Amino acid sequence: MSIEKTIKKVLKEELEQVVRIDTSDFKDLLNYVNGDVATIMKLPDYRNKQVVIVGDLDLSGNQDIKNLNLISKIEGKLNIASSSVDVFDDEKADSVYDYNSLRYRIKKQKELDRKYQELNVLRANNEWDIQNGDEISYETEALFVYIKDTEQLVSEDEDKYFIYPMKYSHYGGKMYQWLGDDGFEQEYVVYDKDNIYDSCTDAIESRIDELGFDAFNKWVWESNLDRGEVLHFLREYITEVVYDAPEDWGVSKVLTNQQYKYIEIYESKIQKLNQKLKTDTSLTDEQKQQIGGEIVDAQDLIDDIRENPEGDYNEDQIEEAIDNWADDNEDNFINLFKEMGMDPKNIVDYADTKGIIDTIIQEDSYGNILGSYDGDYEEIDVENETYIVFRYN
């Protein structure tokens, strides 16, 4: 900060009667006044002035704090979790964490009272009578049966109108809060069984997107690899290796056009010589022996040419070598994929996602797939409709 800006800031603070205190000094003051900020504000140095705390202020667990909202500003974060602070304006600090503080409990009670009022109106109008055929009436009925079955009722006065519908869903399932006891933050999810497959599909796909290969055990992936994609990957990987050294893969060369011509010439010669032996009756034994020798020599030349091709490597043999290697390594794809230094999360690109979804749904419970509190769930029948119900938290 420039000198000019610093001077302006000091002058402004003096004009506005601002007192800046670092957090450690402020805590010492609190101890001095038994936690009452109002007493601090009466001290000569702070009377009729705006008090600004410099830095993060942690008052968590402090049950002696009173009148904290008299502070004008905190230049940092405020933590009043499990404290006696009942009021503090959020805009006075960078952020406020107040879990289980008196302020937190007051807000929660106000929220709870508001929800009770909404539910009482519904009860008075009998809005959730299952005879009206509304989906929410069936869902709340199924949930209330589940709550009774799991012995969570603490009073005979508690009915289904202690179930509060949340504004959000969970993978297509409707979420509700149970307000019938002190644990009013317990949430539940209700699914129509006809749509449970789609909900599980969304949950599984979301898990795969988030965790990739780590989403499920290795056997799940091995059982649901897309063979076409796997073989395509393996072929692409090994193709360059085979082409770089075909002879290492047992691939031979083919004959050149020139070599084929030589073979044609020598085969033609052999044919003519054999014909002469068959038809020329004037040949002496010595001549026959000479012709036989020429035939042998020609055949040796043909064999030598065939054994020493000078053309390119045999493309059919190269493709066969590539295919054989891909087939041999298909079952070891996942291990090989990792050994190649590939990111395991990308294995999903070579998997049959639908196969994985079907496997998980067959092998696991709806509760585990969709994230229930304890993995359990119940199927509840209401008016010939079946609902999947579980506790969420």
Q: What is the pLDDT of residues 241-272, one digit of tens each?
A: 999 999 899 888 888 888 888 889 889 889 99
Alpha-carbon span 98 to 313, nearest angstrom: 75
Handedness of CA 7, 12, 13, 17 (dihedral sign): positive
CA dihedral 235, 239, 242, 243 (to 10 degrees): 160
Q: What is the mean pLDDT of residues 58-62?
A: 96
Contact 189, 146 (CB under 8 A): no
What are the phi and psi torsion angles at 189 (to 5°)? Answer: -125, 140
242 Cβ contact partners less than 8 Å away, ≥ 6 residues apart: 249, 251, 318, 321, 322, 325
Q: What percent of the chain has pLDDT over 70?
A: 95
pLDDT at 382: 95
Do 351 and 225 form a contact (C-beta atoms < 8 A)? yes
pLDDT score at 194: 92
Return the structure tokens found at 376.
Answer: 């359990």
- Assigned token pair, 290: 């000479």
pLDDT of residue 76: 96
3-state secondary structure of 32: helix
Looking at 18-22, 115-119, 245-249, which range is the least confident one?
Answer: 245-249
- Mean pLDDT across the stretch 330-347? 88
The pLDDT, as a whole number, for residue 73 is 96
Q: Which of 187-196, 257-266, 326-335 has the lowest mean pLDDT?
A: 257-266
**Cα-Cα end-to-end distance for the chain:** 50
In this prediction, residue 21 has a pLDDT band, given cuts at 50, 70 and 90, of very high
Mean predicted confidence (pLDDT) in 330-356: 89
Residue 183 confidence (pLDDT) above 70: no
Query: What integer pLDDT is reported at residue 152 of this predicted model?
Result: 72
The pair of structure tokens assigned to 385 is 């409709």
Of 344, 345, 326, give the one whose Cα is nearest residue 238. 326
SS3 category, 360: helix
pLDDT of 181 above 80? no
- pLDDT at position 182: 60
Q: Of the given ranges (52-56, 122-126, 286-290), which has the lowest mean pLDDT?
A: 286-290
323 in Cβ contact with 238 (< 8 Å): no
The pLDDT score that the predictor gives to residue 260 is 84
DSSP 3-state helix, strand, coil percentages of the chain (rounded to 5)?
Answer: 55, 15, 30
pLDDT at 6 over 80: no
| 347: nearest Cα among 188, 214, 235 | 214
If you average pLDDT over every residue of the chain, what do you get?
A: 90
What mean pLDDT is predicted for residues 133-140? 95
Place of tokens 């002696």: 64
Checking DSSP bridges between strand 163-170 and strand 173-178, what pairing results, if any? antiparallel
For the ranges 106-110, 285-289, 371-375, the one whose mean pLDDT is highest: 106-110
User: According to DSSP H, which parts of 33-101 are helical?
Assistant: 37-40
Q: How many CB atoms lie within 10 A of CB 146?
A: 22
CA angle at 135 for the pair 133 and 136, rounded to the nearest 5°:
115
